């Protein structure tokens, strides 16, 4: 190779266009091609569900999001891809196996047996769903993050269940226990730097030990009957309450209507009294007589009435023969009776 870069007199020279320069460029190009062939492409692609971790001589230097990125050829830089949107799942207290079209589960005693706050034993199976939130922490900070998360989930579950009595996980407080486990597990995952985000925590199977399962079933049946009776009583109460409220509303509406009617009638009576008062003040004698006659007409309805003037004699109107029960009335001798709706003398109705 020394002959490529020396002149005839032995001096080292690399002139453009000289045979030595051409040989040097060919060799350099061959080396570059060989490096590219050995190391692969100098670019890499990160999928939409992935995050790329770029390592330079095995040391993390940067992260790469979705898209096309460039790197130094191997062995200078390498890339590791981690799926950060995939929902992962771990099972605690049981293991599930897919068999054709059905799923079989098998309990894991050393995981599912837990002690409650009232010193009772309960069997719990739980599923945790999570995803990678920080690919660097998930890949490099913890040696086995999935196994570590499983241990943390078991510790969080035992701690939360230990704060409740046995009836809570079996019946009424499953949702509250799931929420507490979710919060506690996320706190522990952040504390240990796992780089994961908890999605859901679900209690799949909670049951008492087989030796006392019958007694617990009886207790549960009694509890369900108790709740059913309470619901029926609440339904009856609500039904009767609705009826009473309807009756009350009807009575109030009728009272309001009657009140409005009485107010209107009272206003009418007041207006009538004011009108009569004005007439009385204008003509006292006439108004007094008219009121007297209207009152007589009202208290003696359907009766024949005779109205006499102040200068008329009442004895002229008596039919003595009819009072004796004999004779006939003489129309000439007796003055005719005046109907009740006419006036005689100076009185007016």
> What pLDDT is recorded for position 316?
64
Number of compact structural domains in the chain: 4
Is 310 within a domain? yes
Same domain for 152 and 55, yes or no, is no
Domain ends where: 33, 52, 83? 83
Is 39 within a domain? yes
Is 100 within a domain? yes
Cα angle 204-210-214, degrees, rounded to a multiple of 5: 100
Same domain for 115 and 191, yes or no, is yes
Q: How far apart are CA 37 and CA 30, in angstroms?
A: 10
> What pLDDT is recorded for position 330?
47
Same domain for 163 and 234, yes or no, is no
Same domain for 274 and 186, yes or no, is no
Is 292 within a domain? no
Same domain for 198 and 249, yes or no, is no
Is 59 within a domain? yes
Cα angle 293-295-299, degrees, rounded to a multiple of 5: 120
Same domain for 151 and 243, yes or no, is no
In which domain, by residue range, is 50 found? 2-83
Half-sphere exposure of 250 (CA within 13 A, CB side): 6
Same domain for 137 and 220, yes or no, is no
Q: Residue 24: is it exposed, middle or buried by C-beta count within 10 angstroms (0-12/13-18/19+)?
A: middle
User: What's the pTM?
Assistant: 0.51
Contacts of 115 (CB under 8 A, 6+ apart): 121, 122, 158, 161, 162
Is 259 within a domain? yes
Same domain for 228 and 268, yes or no, is yes
Report the greatest alpha carbon distance in the chain.
193
Same domain for 73 and 107, yes or no, is no
Domain ends where: 83, 112, 136? 83
> What pLDDT is recorded for position 180?
93
Is 223 within a domain? yes
Question: Which CATH number covers residue 143?
Answer: 3.30.479.30
Residues lower than pLDDT 50 in the chain? 1-2, 4, 326-349
Is 288 within a domain? no
Same domain for 18 and 50, yes or no, is yes
> For residue 96, which phi and psi values (nearest 5 degrees)?
-105, 145
Domain ends where: 62, 83, 104? 83
Same domain for 95 and 204, yes or no, is yes
Same domain for 222 and 202, yes or no, is no
Q: 209-235 b/e with 16+ CB inside 10 Å = b?
A: eeeeeeebeebeeeeeeeeeeeeeeee
Residue 132 DSSP SS3:
strand
């Amino acid at each position: 190779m020394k002959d490529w870069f020396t002149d005839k007199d032995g001096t080292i020279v690399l002139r453009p266009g000289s045979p030595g320069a051409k040989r040097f460029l060919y060799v350099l190009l061959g080396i570059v091609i060989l490096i590219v062939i050995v190391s692969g492409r100098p670019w890499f692609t990160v999928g939409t569900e992935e995050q790329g971790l770029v390592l330079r001589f095995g040391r993390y230097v940067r992260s790469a999001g979705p898209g096309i990125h460039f790197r130094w050829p191997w062995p200078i830089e390498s890339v590791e891809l981690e799926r950060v949107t995939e929902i992962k799942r771990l099972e605690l207290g049981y293991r599930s196996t897919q068999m054709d079209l059905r799923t079989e589960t098998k309990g894991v005693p050393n995981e599912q047996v837990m002690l409650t706050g009232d010193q009772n034993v309960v069997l719990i199976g739980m599923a945790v769903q999570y995803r990678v939130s920080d690919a660097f922490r998930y890949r490099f900070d913890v040696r086995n993050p999935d196994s570590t998360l499983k241990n943390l989930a078991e510790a969080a579950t035992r701690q939360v269940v230990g704060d409740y009595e046995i009836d809570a996980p079996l019946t009424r407080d499953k949702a509250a226990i799931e929420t507490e486990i979710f919060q506690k597990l996320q706190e522990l995952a952040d504390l240990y730097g796992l780089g994961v985000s908890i999605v859901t925590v679900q209690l799949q199977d909670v049951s008492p030990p087989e030796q006392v399962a019958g007694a617990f079933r009886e207790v549960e049946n009694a509890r369900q009957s108790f709740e059913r009776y309470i619901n029926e009583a609440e339904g009856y109460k609500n039904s009767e309450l609705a009826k009473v409220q309807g009756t009350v509303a009807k009575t109030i509406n009728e009272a309001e209507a009657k009140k409005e009617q009485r107010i209107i009638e009272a206003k009418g009576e007041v207006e009538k009294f004011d009108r009569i008062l004005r007439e009385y003040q204008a003509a006292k004698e006439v108004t007094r007589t008219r009121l007297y006659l209207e009152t007589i007409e009202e208290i003696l309805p359907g009766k024949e009435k005779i109205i006499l003037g102040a200068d008329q004699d009442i004895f002229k109107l008596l039919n003595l023969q009819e009072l004796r029960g004999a004779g006939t009335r003489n129309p000439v001798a007796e003055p005719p009776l005046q109907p009740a709706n006419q006036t005689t003398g100076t009185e007016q109705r």
